[in-house]
Structure 1
Amino acid sequence: MTAPIPLIAGNWKMNGLAAALGEARAVAAGLGSAAARVALCPPATLLERMSSALSGTAVLTGGQDCHAEASGAFTGDVSAEMLADAGAALVILGHSERRAGHGETDAIVAAKVRAALRGGLEPIICVGETLEERKAGWALAVVTGQVRGSLPAELAGKDFAVAYEPVWAIGSGLTPSLAEIEEMHTAIRAALLELFGDEGAARPILYGGSVKPANAAEILKVKDVGGALVGGASLKAADFLGIVGAL
């Protein structure tokens, strides 16, 4: 079975104006010989400019969401084809902020995953439990259920990543224990093997949720952690490079 190629992806969320492109350029300039694939996912308004600024470098770009349809009367939405046209290679789907704030179900996320594949994008599919679900002892069942419901069969033979982000850790400064991270990543790996056979061993499972230079090294050493989906720390090149360098 092929070991997953690590991926470190930065999710800028709704942050960044034109001046922030300097941080993206600094990431590319400081990358050196990284042990992982590296990507930045800016807001849609910056995607084409960032893709152009990073052209010829080792840094990939990605979108933060896409609509399930290729085009149509969907004011304010962006299709996978539009993201690819703007230079994206990847797209984040099913982030907890989309699931909670926009009512996205597993079925909606799965439809968007199919759209990403149609548009030639590599999906990063997010899963994670709330604090209430963890306290109730449901964390493993909730997250593996999201994996089974959000990853369609069409992913077989395609490149993709799963990102485990405990909802209660995102932007809070809190992180699960290393044992809790390992337990969840082991369960996700088992679900991927169940869904995709041996291929499920070759897809990276990222950890996300208050990842920063100070804790990245120990998290990235945990079994079945194949990279990170980084939020706030990806907005500053020095912090993001510190995480990339921790692998």
Structure 2
Amino acid sequence: MDFSVISQLRAKKFWWLDVMLYFAVSLLIAAGFCYFVFSVKSGMIKKQISDAASSLDTVGTQEQKAQEKQVNDYIKKINDFNNLFKNHKFVSNGFAFMQNETMPYIWFKQFGLDQKGASIQLSGQADNMDNFSRQVANFEKSKYVKKVGMLNSTVGSDGKISFSVNLTLDPKIFTYIADLSLIVQKNEKTQQSQAPQIPAEVTAGAVKEPAKSNQKMITVQENTATVSFMPTPAKQSQPKTFIILAVVIFSAIIILAIIAIIVFKKLNAN
């Protein structure tokens, strides 16, 4: 290994090596100091949060806390109720669908409902071909019918039409809908679901007390309960002294390092 390069570097004092050295040292010192400052600041913020959380337990009267607990119980029951309806399938909606979509002078003698496959197999009789065509067209126009298949029809000796048809339905028809009469509106109105209502003693209004310092106010609206606190006289926010101090010291270290480099270069030049 040739050590002449190292000796040459010692003999020739390159100024950029000094610049890099001082700059690296100043950055290291500034980074360590900033880490210390922000660690202290983080600890103080965590302590403030802990103090604020503990002070919340002492806010409000016993009656208010009991009312808050009651509201939270209602919210839990409502959420459980909503999850139940979201996961439950209502086969009875298929019967309501057929009741609303069946045209006059149409009779069904066989009815098969496949909830998993979302399909209905029908066998029935129509008064004449015109009424049968109207019934098929009515099925095709329904927004809950995806496909009308396996359509067979025969004309009897009395002129009546015997038919069989398979309807492929939209699976959404088996979900919870508060008003079943809205399921099969003939594209005249938009379906609107109604969510379970909160009991009357809660929906009667907000639970309020005369305004006091740090007072809780529980408000129930639709399916949402909001717990808010009355504003208290705001304390003047302390300036971010730690951040400002860190920036100032960091800038001072950089400036001192630059000044030291300039002085060192002038001394070497002399």
| TM-score when normalising by structure 2 | 0.16
Tell me which protein shows more helix as a share of its residues: 2
Larger-Rg structure? 2
